[in-house]
Structure formats: C-alpha cells, structure tokens
Structure 1
C-alpha cells in the first residue's frame, strides 16, 4: 500500500477516533475552566477523562458501558483511600502490595478488566503525593470521577449518533490487513523469493488478523442488532465479516509447494503474471477496507475480469503447447491456483458491491452459524482469581513483579530528591508487562521516546513564543499520543512527553526546565527498575510455555482435519462445526506464532531449540493451510466411490497426529515406527492417473480433454496430494519433536 493509502487508513481508523475523542474530551472542559480561572483547582477533571477513557477498549456497547462505570467507581475508591492515607509511609507500603497484586492479577479476566486494573494503579500512583489534591482529597476524587462521568456521557452520545462507526472501522482495518496478507502471498510468485522472510511476515500478519477477528466476533455476535434485530446495514456488515473469514481461509489454503512451482515454470512468464494479478487483488481488498472505514462505497481500481482472463489465457496457451504426460501433475497444480484466483476475484467483486450497502446485496442473507460458539468466552467467577494465586500462574508472577517494582520505585522516590517522583512509579506500572519481550520493547521505546520528546519540547519552547501555536501543537501531540498508544509505543511515548511538557508550560512556565530534567531522570530510573525486575524476578520465559501452545495447535489441527476428512468417507459435513473448528485451528496457530515471535526478543540464554521451534511453527502453519485447502473440496465435492481408500489414509494420519501429541506429553509410544510408515497408496487413483497419461500420449491434449474423467482426475489428484502433504508434514512434526525431546534430555 502506498503512503497516501496508509494516511487514509490512519485518518479513518478507530485509533485516530480514540485520540481525537480523548483529546477533545480533556481539552474542551479545560478551556472552560481556564476561561473562569479555575483550571489549576480542577486539573483532576481532564485527568479523569483521559484515564477513564483509557479503559474504553473496542467491544460490544454493553461491555464498554459497564467497564466505564466500574472504572469510575473503582478509581474513586482508590483515590480516596490513597489520598487520606498517603502521609503514613507504612500504610503506603501495604497499599502498594495490596493494590499492586490485586490490580495486576485481575488481568486473568481479560484485556478489558486488565485495562481497568492498570488505570486504577495509575490513579493510585497519581495520588501517592499531594501534587494533585493537596489536603482536599475527597473533593479531588469527586472532580476526577466527574471527569470520568463526562467521558461516559460523551461515549453514550457518540454511540447513539454513530452506532456502527466502530464496527466499520474495525472491519475496514480487517480488510486492509487481509490485503496485506495476500500481497505477501503474491511475493511467492516472483523470481527468487526469500521463503523464510516471507513466512515470518505471514505469521506476523496472521497474529494481527487473529486479534482483529476476536474483536469483531465479540462485537458482531454479542450485539443484538446484528443477530436478531438486523437492519440492512447490520446485515451487510455481518455479511462482509463472514466473507472476510472465508476469504482469509481461501488465502490460507492457497499454500503451494512454491519450490516445485518455480522449478516447473520459472522459465515462463505465467508465475510473474499470477503474482502481478494477486498484487492487484490485494490492493483491491485494501481499497475495500479503506472504503468501509471511511463509510464511502469502493470502486475497482482495475478491470478484474480482463486481468483474470489474461491469466487464464496464458495458462491455456502454455498448457496447449507445453503440457505432456510427464508434466501433467505440474499443470494440475497450476490449474488449482487459477481456480483459487477465480474464487477470490468473485469474492472481491461481491465485496465492492457490498460497500454500497444496497439492500439487494443482503437479500436472502441469514446468519447460518450459531453466534454463541464464535464469541470469545470470558468468565468472571472469583474462583478464577483464587486459582491463579500460585507461582505456577504467569499472571501471579507478573503481579509479584509489578508489586515489587512499585515498592522499589517508591523507595527510590523517598530517598532521592526528585521533583516528580511519582513518574518513576508511572513508568514502572506502564512498562512492566507479563511477557519479557513486550517489557523490553516498551522499555526501549519509553526511554527513546522520552529523550526525543524532551529535546523536541525544548526546541518548541525555545523557538516558538506564540501561545496559540504552542496550544495547537499540544493538541496535535495529545491526539498522536492516544492514537498510537496501542500501535506504536515509541511515537506515543514521544507525544506524551511533548504534551506533558507543553501543558506544564501553560500551567507553570517558571518550572519547565525542572520538568524537562525530572522527566528524563524519572523515566530512566523507572525503566532501569522495570528491566531488572522483568529479567530477574520470577520471569516467565516463552520456552516454558511453548509446549502447551504446540500441543494446542496439534489438537486443534487434528479436530479440524477429522471433521474435514470425514466428508471423504461418506459422512455429512456440519458447516457450523467446520467453521468453529477452523476458527480454533487458526487461533491456535496464531497463538503459537505469537509465542515464538516473543522468544526472539528474549535473552540468548533463554532461546533454546530455536531452529526446531521455528520448523515446528512453519510446519503447523502449512498443516493448517493444507487442511483448509482440503475443506474447500469437502464443501463442494463428493467422491464416495473412493471412501475406502481415503479412510485408510485418514486413519494413518490420525495415528501420526496422536504420536506427535504423545511426544509433547512425554508418553512412551511407537512414534519412531509411525514416522517411518508411508501413507498407503490410493490404488484407484493410480489406475485413473495411468489411464489419463495414456490418453494424453495416444490421443494428444485436445482429444484427451474431451474425456469425462479429466475434471474428476484433477480434483482427486489434488485431494489425494493434500492427504499426502498432511501426512508428510505430520511426520516432519514428529521428527522435530523427537529432536527437541532428545536435546531436553541431554540438558
């Protein structure tokens, strides 16, 4: 995507909407207070707006509403307790332990509750000294809560005025990311692809899409208007989301043996032509995403029918002149790619029409899946919290690290003469995350952003003396800070530092130099404490969790394979179950990929068996892709006369998947013998293939194409090939796991 499209995407994204909403929510009342000369006494009001607004994560309306109300009430209580008892250092230590443990541990209930916990910790930190409230604790807590209530009112009004806006923004973002995934696929078709680099980009993109899908599922399937009281717009939005999931599967199942493709067709122009067309399709999907985000209808940038016909004509010409009985199987593989491109083309054309929100597009559409099965489940039983009070729990270990970090930071603020000592605790609370890799990254971004923000802020104040210009700059940096807070922490950290410095310049211009110095010193101290704590206090290294993710990926793939493969033994296919198991397999694959990516940021001494783990992630990705390809045929074809041959193959693959799971679980089995067994040959297909080759040899391509067996053979050869690939990949996984186990025993 070009820079103009990236800019359009940012302008219409929910990230910028959040930044603008929070900034205006804080600035408008501040200007009113400034007009009446009471801003310094009411400073807790905009602070309450910003902090309470920080808990407003994307999700269903009722969950966002409830979380805001809970945040307002909880923060009020925390502010009162902290404010009244802050002069008794002994009590403050107890508060740090209680609040630090509790508000970090509530992360077991998911991201929404985790956000409330973090904001409560920040409120606690802000109220530890008397810079905010002085002796008027209750009044300041009430003003802070009033700021939160103001944000709540703003949220309710915007929700009534623009009920579909957030969904459109998230759905548009989903299509943009989907287009990026397809553009990575396109690179496989050009000369000399870097397979490792492309694979790493693909798994990173799938992790992004996984998170996006989870948010969209929760909103769409938990919102009554989309499930029961559907309007034309809600039906079309639901239709587009379901189409995006099917499109994602189609992109996923277009996995090929690209090395063989290049070996067979690199000397021709057909792969480059296919690659160019896939790039065009990727651009179209991103264009659709931008249109959905902005609320306008999209129009094709290219004539897709003409471009597809060029690909088809190139294939037909080459097939006519170059296909023979020896390379027939290569052309079958190319034909399947062409069929996949035709399917994606039709879906893209349909999606372009859907962005017009024409009633004809959704005519006859009914939700044919059970919504409850597709919504991320989250229980809020107290038992879950109690069960996690154990050193075996990564959430508990994180809570201990946060609590200890806050204690050390508080002691540092007491013993050193620091003008804004609470900034140390703010830095620690914000930087420390459950995963070391994220803590490390945020540490670097926090320090780098703070230094850049201080330098830029100093230059602004030195070069610009017009308060109007400085005020506009402060607003822009606030918008950037809250727009990039969840996507680019370096930009967010830089912008936060800038707007803090500029706001201090308006409130207390005589002490701006001291603020600049304090900001750097406090951030460095807080970052240093966070790094040491995350490295040495009950760290949870990713390699200690990867076995669980590998097992989940294997089991999810096995369940997905079993329901798809059952169709080839003559059983009926339940589409609802298929989609649910497909979702589980994709999520498990993305979780495994995410875990591996985090391992890459950890200290070298903790990166054990990295080559083998990388191979397992790659094979898991291919396994899910091949099963997804098989599911396409399971939904459209039925060759029951081959059911006996397929059943033998399915049983063998199931034994292989079970053997791989046994190795992870440490069970003694016969995995060595199973990995040596070859998949039984499909004798009927071998005979059919031999007959087809004979026809081509004796009759030539043109006459042999009139044979009724041509289409059936093409399908069966592909289906059989997918079973063989799934078997080969599973055996590879057994061997990889055996290597990991052997290395673990040696250590």
Structure 2
C-alpha cells in the first residue's frame, strides 16, 4: 500500500490542484470572515462570498493567464446581472418560474465555446441557484447585487495577488502534472515488454494514458510558451528558461517513446521471455520512476540529485544484441535485428533526455541553445479560444449537442421547481415536506452539478454525487454526535472546503463528500439546526439525482453518432502528418547535400538562406501536424470510451472503431519513427520509395497494385524497413475498416436521439 499511496499523496500535496483549492477556499471564505467577524455583517458576508464563489469556479488550474483573466471578468459581469435578475424575480412565483428556465437555457448554451465557456455558464447558474431565497424588496435587491459584485471583484484581485506572490508557482505545478502523466504513459508502455500481460488490456491502458497525457501537455504548453524568457540575465528569466527547457525535454522524450512502437505480437512470438524483453521492461519502469521524481522536484523547485540509473539494463541489452548478432540474426532476420537495435537506441536517447532534465530541474545551465526555441513561431502551438456570437446562433438547432444539452437542463430545472411546489400542497401534513418545499435550490444545484452534455458523464456524475453526498452526510452526523465545539466545527469547515475544491478534478466522489460536509456545517452555523438538516440534504440530493438521470434521456446525443467523424478526423490527421513529414525529410536531404557540397568546396556558394527558411518552416509544420494527430486521437479515444459507458443498445460498430483506434495509433507511431530516418538518407532507394507511394495511395483510398514491395535492408536501411511494413499493414487495415464503416452507415440508421 505504501508503494502507491505515499507517492500519490506527495504528488497531490505538490500539485496545482491543492494550490488552486487553497486559493479558491481562501478567496471565497475571506469575505464572510471579514464582514461577519469584523463588522457583524454575516448576511452580507455570505452574499459577497457567493459572488466570490462564482469567480472561483472559473478560476480553475491550467490554461493561459490572459484567457483566465478575461473569463473571470466576464463571469463577474454575467454573475452580477444574474444576481440582480434572480433576486428581483424571487419576489414573484411566476417570475421565478419564467426566469430560471430562461437562464438555465442561456448559460447551458455557453458550452458551445468549449470547457471554459461551460465553466462560466455553470458559475452563473450556481450563483442563480444560491440567490433563490426569500423574496426581497427593491433596496435589498440593489444591496444584494452590490455585495455580490464586490465579492467577485475581491476574489479577482485576490487571485491575481496570490499568483503574483507565488510567482510562476502554477506554471511549475502544471508542468509537473504533465511530467507525471508522461511517466504514467511510460509505465503503461513498459507492460508491452512483459509477456505475461494481456496485449489488448495493455493497449487500452496505453490509449487512456496517452489521452490524459495529451490534455495535460497541452495545458503545460499553453502555460510555458506564454511565459517565454526574454533573453535577460534576471532570476525570473532563469526560471522561465528552466521551465522552457524542461518542457522541450518532455516533448522530446514523448517523441522518442512514440517512435518505439512495434508489432508486439511478433516480438513476443519471436523473443518470448528473453532477457532482452525483460531488460527493456525494467529500463522503462526505472525511467518512469525517475520522471516521477523529476516531476516532484519541479513542483518543489528542488534539484534532482540522486538518480535512478538504467546503465545496467542498457549494457545488458547491448550484450544480448551482440549475442543475437553472433548467432546470425542480422543476416537471417534483418528487420527484427534492426527493430531491437532501434529499441536500444531509443532507450539510450530517453536516458540522455531524462539525465538532461534532472540536471536542469532547479536551474538551467549555460549550454542551452535557447535561440532555437525562441526563433520558432511557437505561438502556432498554443490553443486558441475565441468567442463569436455567430457560433452561439449557429448552434440554435436540434442537431447541435449544445442545444440538446441546454434543453435537458431547462426541462430539469422546471421539474426541480415543480417538486417543491407539489410538496407545498402537503405543508400542513408533515414537517419534512414543508422543509423540502423551501429547499428547491439544493435540488437545482444537484441537477446542475450532475447533468452533463454526455449521457455517460451524467451517469457517472450521478453515482459519484450520490455516493459523495451519502458519505458526507454520514461523516457530518458522526461529527455532530461526537462534539458541539464551534471552534472544531470551524476548523473542519475550512479543511473540508479546501479538500472539496482541490479534489474536484481528481476524485469527484471525495470532492462531493467534503463539499457536503462544509455545506452542512455552514447550515449549522447559520441556523443552529439539528441533525435533521442532514437527512434533508440527502433527500434533496436523491431527488436531484433522479431528475438528472431522467432528463439525461431527453434528446440525448449518443456518442455513436459522432464516432464516424472522429475516425475520419484521425485518419485525415495521419495523412497530413505523413505528407508534412515527407516534405520535411525531402528538404532536409537537400539541405544536407548543400552543406556537404560547401564543405567539400569552400569556394562554392553558401547554403541558400531560402532553403534554410523552408526547412525550418517544414519542421514547424510537421510538429504542428503531430500536435493535431494527438488532438484528433484524443478526441477519438475519449469518444470511444464514453460510448462504451452508454447503454449497450446505443453502442455502434464497437469492433470497427476499436480496430481503427489501434491502427491509427500504430500508423502515427511508425510515421514518427520513419520520418527522421528518411531525412538522413542521401537518396530514397527504389523499394522504399515504392512503399511510401503505396502507403499514401492506400491512405487516400486508392487502388494500389503492389502492397508488398521489396525493401532494401542493407545496413541502416533495415531499421527503416520495419516501420514501413507496419505502416503498409496499418494503412490496409484502416482502409478496410473505413470501407466497412461506410457500408454500416448505409445499412444502419444513424444513432442520434431516442
């Protein structure tokens, strides 16, 4: 247990999740502490904290600072309008019934602008729910709106000050989380060399690890590349250079690992439980552990002193490879020998990259070629989030998943208002129903938290929310039964709120439990209520979960309806990746020839500057294409696993999509392995050129006569023959599965809604 629990605990303590939870909890609780404790304005303090809560929801870890600043300011503006409208309408039953569905629809539609837009919409809906209290007069509405606006502004200023004082702390922690994800990916890849592991299960684990890694690396990219060093010798510039170098090393390490993909069925069949396989497995595991240590030291701003060495494994692999060579493998099976040689070389390169990362964990040395990073058009690698009103209008149609989601939330909010209205008819009968009628805001809050655009997400959130609420209610009941010490309650409230906000993105069930504890303790402070309030909240949660689950079947957008487009986007990304890679390789060969010509004849013309510029641009285009491959594959994989969580009757062509997922992954990996080798050749041999032409033809769904060309395997060409054969095989399987998908689409009705 200690081998897994303590590293995870250490990772959490130094993560940007805990840092963000501390920032959010402090920024939300300070208004009520200052106004309530200092001026006895507890009511206004709570309202100010509600305004701060709206902005805190938007202030999530990750993402560019500039975008988040604009998002928080937009949240303050929309939140203030929401508070004004909600508190004004709260005085009228019909006003509430009209306004709440309208706001639910409008803010749910903000999902068209991506996850960040969805956060703004959720924050405003949360503020709307918390403002559904007793009727208020005109002066009270103005005062309520003013304090909510002030609370939002306070949190905005507090968040900026918090980041300024910590100074690149969030950037370091974001990069650390991306390194942790890279280490997890390395660990998943090491299992391929374990002959006792199931290959299909290992593929699934690898794809999930790659999907998670791609998202975290994009967050790190957005953070680091927007904080580039300015070429100065200041302390701040040194830290920015350190982050940049660690990031580029991380990307280089990923490229090295991706390019080692192979046909593990063949490898296991031919080598079995050989020492080479065992040493490769152990080397990758050790390197994964070393990257974890580097990630922790990055977040703590400490230098990595003691390193986990893989010299023994690499030397043992060298010995095994020499033994295979003496037995004649290089002549009898040159492709297998070239593959093993490539695995060894990649592990050497990975070792050098990790050693370089460890040496520069705290402060970058003076041997860093910084100009090669700053001269490139790095801005093209950053994610863009632009808001256009036309995007909102164009999604106001039934075929839009965001529109369907907004309809579901609207229907759910109407049902949430109807439940307490019906319960009010029995207020003279039971105290429980009377209390329920006054707590519709908790039901709506539960619905907003659970109901997500995807059916699988809603189902998963429903289970986690219900389980977390039950756990939180149980722990709070135990707390109230053990002690009535108010100081202890306050400490528990602070700890629960910090943990609840920190675990939202990591473990939602525990987050729901901690937030339930903090909410119930808050009710205890506000109303000095008995433990009956615990059962109230649990009943409200049950009703909210039931409504959310019911409404998830209203105009659902099943993942199966999007899988075909995901598959085609992934194929198109691989086509572009191959095309840009071949262009880069061709220009690199021309450049090397020009350099050799100049070296052999000093009086000749210097290397054409235009050729150098074209080569740099081609390299950048190839890297951009690779980034798009990761994005499209992540979308494909995420959509596939979401579909697998949906009802079996809504899962369409599972085997086809699973095969396409694996073969697109294989194809991208082999492109990454072959392009650098092609770029170093003086000329392309006829057999290899024919294979490249065949691959391009198959990927464009053309008829290719010769799909088994005779490949040259002399010397280093043996290392190129294997990835080319794998690319031909993967391309053929993709072509076959895409044809099968086209046939299925014509014979099966498209799954959209029930």
> TM-score, structure 2 length as denominator?
0.89
Picking from 229, 236, 244, the partner of 2:242 is 236
In the alignment, the residues of structure 2 paired with residue 468 and residue 407 of structure 1 have an alpha-carbon distance, to the nearest angstrom, of 40
Show the counterpart of 1:499.
518
Show the counterpart of 1:697.
none
Show the counterpart of 1:646.
688
| Structure 1 residues 589 and 508, CA gap change in structure 2 (3 angstroms) | same
Show the counterpart of 1:523.
541
In the alignment, the residues of structure 2 paired with residue 550 and residue 186 of structure 1 have an alpha-carbon distance, to the nearest angstrom, of 27
Partner-residue secondary structure (3-state), 1:545: helix
Picking from 361, 369, 390, the partner of 2:376 is 369
Q: Does 1:736 align with 2:700?
A: no
Is this contact kept in 1: 2:469–2:513, CA < 8 A? yes
| Structure 1 residues 37 and 641, CA gap change in structure 2 (3 angstroms) | closer
Q: Write the mapping of 1:554-569 to structure 2, written as runs, cut at 5 A.
A: 554-566=571-583
User: In the TM superposition, what is the alpha-carbon distance from 1:403 to its structure 2 partner?
Assistant: 1.3
In the alignment, the residues of structure 2 paired with residue 323 and residue 554 of structure 1 have an alpha-carbon distance, to the nearest angstrom, of 35
User: In the TM superposition, what is the alpha-carbon distance from 1:525 to its structure 2 partner?
Assistant: 1.0
In the alignment, the residues of structure 2 paired with residue 359 and residue 132 of structure 1 have an alpha-carbon distance, to the nearest angstrom, of 63
Q: Write the mapping of 1:623-638 to structure 2, written as runs, cut at 5 A.
A: 623-635=667-679, 637-638=680-681
In the alignment, the residues of structure 1 paired with residue 171 and residue 661 of structure 2 have an alpha-carbon distance, to the nearest angstrom, of 32
Deviations 1:403-460 (A, max 9, x none): 1111121122322241421111111111111111111110110111111111111011
User: In the TM superposition, what is the alpha-carbon distance from 1:583 to its structure 2 partner?
Assistant: 0.4
In the alignment, the residues of structure 2 paired with residue 36 and residue 222 of structure 1 have an alpha-carbon distance, to the nearest angstrom, of 42
Deviations 1:148-169 (A, max 9, x none): 2221121121222223111100
| Structure 1 residues 225 and 158, CA gap change in structure 2 (3 angstroms) | farther
In the alignment, the residues of structure 2 paired with residue 308 and residue 131 of structure 1 have an alpha-carbon distance, to the nearest angstrom, of 74
Show the counterpart of 2:461.
442
Partner-residue secondary structure (3-state), 1:136: helix
User: In the TM superposition, what is the alpha-carbon distance from 1:563 to its structure 2 partner?
Assistant: 2.0
Q: Write the mapping of 1:230-629 to structure 2, written as runs, cut at 5 A.
A: 231-321=237-327, 323=329, 325-362=331-368, 364-367=370-373, 368-416=375-423, 417=434, 418=436, 419-509=438-528, 511-535=529-553, 537-566=554-583, 574-629=618-673
Count of paired positions = 702
Q: Does 1:56 align with 2:59?
A: yes
Q: Does 1:125 align with 2:129?
A: yes
Partner-residue secondary structure (3-state), 2:42: coil
User: In the TM superposition, what is the alpha-carbon distance from 1:129 to its structure 2 partner?
Assistant: 2.6
Partner-residue secondary structure (3-state), 2:331: coil
User: In the TM superposition, what is the alpha-carbon distance from 1:123 to its structure 2 partner?
Assistant: 1.2
User: In the TM superposition, what is the alpha-carbon distance from 1:227 to its structure 2 partner?
Assistant: 9.6
Show the counterpart of 1:19.
21
Is this contact kept in 2: 1:447–1:527, CA < 8 A? yes
| Structure 1 residues 267 and 24, CA gap change in structure 2 (3 angstroms) | closer
Structure 1 alignment gaps of length 5 or more: 660-670, 690-712
Q: Does 1:168 align with 2:172?
A: yes
| Structure 1 residues 602 and 267, CA gap change in structure 2 (3 angstroms) | closer
| Structure 1 residues 166 and 85, CA gap change in structure 2 (3 angstroms) | same
Q: Which is worse superposed, 473-482 or 511-520?
A: 511-520
Show the counterpart of 2:431.
none
Deviations 1:233-267 (A, max 9, x none): 21221222122122112211211111222222224
User: In the TM superposition, what is the alpha-carbon distance from 1:741 to its structure 2 partner?
Assistant: 3.5
Show the counterpart of 2:722.
721
Partner-residue secondary structure (3-state), 1:380: coil
Is this contact kept in 2: 1:504–1:512, CA < 8 A? no
Partner-residue secondary structure (3-state), 2:531: helix
Picking from 195, 199, 202, the partner of 2:203 is 199
In the alignment, the residues of structure 2 paired with residue 18 and residue 610 of structure 1 have an alpha-carbon distance, to the nearest angstrom, of 39
Show the counterpart of 1:179.
183
Structure 2 alignment gaps of length 5 or more: 424-433, 592-614, 749-754
Is this contact kept in 2: 1:220–1:226, CA < 8 A? no
In the alignment, the residues of structure 1 paired with residue 386 and residue 30 of structure 2 have an alpha-carbon distance, to the nearest angstrom, of 38
Show the counterpart of 1:701.
none
Show the counterpart of 1:97.
101
Deviations 1:610-664 (A, max 9, x none): 12211111111111111111133245x123151x4433322222221122xxxxx
In the alignment, the residues of structure 1 paired with residue 367 and residue 641 of structure 2 have an alpha-carbon distance, to the nearest angstrom, of 40
Is this contact kept in 2: 1:83–1:128, CA < 8 A? yes
Show the counterpart of 2:699.
657
Deviations 1:116-142 (A, max 9, x none): 111111111222232899972221222
In the alignment, the residues of structure 2 paired with residue 171 and residue 744 of structure 1 have an alpha-carbon distance, to the nearest angstrom, of 42
In the alignment, the residues of structure 2 paired with residue 414 and residue 617 of structure 1 have an alpha-carbon distance, to the nearest angstrom, of 49
Q: Does 1:110 align with 2:129?
A: no
In the alignment, the residues of structure 2 paired with residue 178 and residue 548 of structure 1 have an alpha-carbon distance, to the nearest angstrom, of 28
Deviations 1:58-117 (A, max 9, x none): 222222222222211221111011111223233323323331222111222222222111
Q: Does 1:681 align with 2:709?
A: yes
In the alignment, the residues of structure 1 paired with residue 11 and residue 202 of structure 2 have an alpha-carbon distance, to the nearest angstrom, of 24
Q: Does 1:66 align with 2:66?
A: no
| Structure 1 residues 51 and 364, CA gap change in structure 2 (3 angstroms) | closer
In the alignment, the residues of structure 1 paired with residue 376 and residue 517 of structure 2 have an alpha-carbon distance, to the nearest angstrom, of 49
Is this contact kept in 1: 2:190–2:281, CA < 8 A? yes
Show the counterpart of 2:220.
216
Q: Which is worse superposed, 311-320 or 380-389?
A: 311-320
Q: Does 1:152 align with 2:156?
A: yes
User: In the TM superposition, what is the alpha-carbon distance from 1:274 to its structure 2 partner?
Assistant: 1.5
In the alignment, the residues of structure 2 paired with residue 603 and residue 381 of structure 1 have an alpha-carbon distance, to the nearest angstrom, of 35
Q: Does 1:84 align with 2:88?
A: yes
Deviations 1:13-68 (A, max 9, x none): 11001111122223344333235433244211222222311111322222222222
Is this contact kept in 2: 1:648–1:680, CA < 8 A? no
Partner-residue secondary structure (3-state), 2:214: helix
Show the counterpart of 2:601.
none
Is this contact kept in 1: 2:339–2:722, CA < 8 A? no
User: In the TM superposition, what is the alpha-carbon distance from 1:358 to its structure 2 partner?
Assistant: 3.1
> TM-score, structure 1 length as denominator?
0.89
In the alignment, the residues of structure 1 paired with residue 475 and residue 137 of structure 2 have an alpha-carbon distance, to the nearest angstrom, of 30
| Structure 1 residues 131 and 722, CA gap change in structure 2 (3 angstroms) | farther
In the alignment, the residues of structure 2 paired with residue 227 and residue 429 of structure 1 have an alpha-carbon distance, to the nearest angstrom, of 47
Show the counterpart of 1:694.
none
| Structure 1 residues 363 and 556, CA gap change in structure 2 (3 angstroms) | closer
Q: Which is worse superposed, 30-39 or 557-566?
A: 30-39
Q: Which is worse superposed, 380-389 or 563-572?
A: 563-572
| Structure 1 residues 161 and 233, CA gap change in structure 2 (3 angstroms) | same
User: In the TM superposition, what is the alpha-carbon distance from 1:585 to its structure 2 partner?
Assistant: 0.8
Picking from 39, 48, 58, the partner of 1:45 is 48
In the alignment, the residues of structure 1 paired with residue 539 and residue 569 of structure 2 have an alpha-carbon distance, to the nearest angstrom, of 45
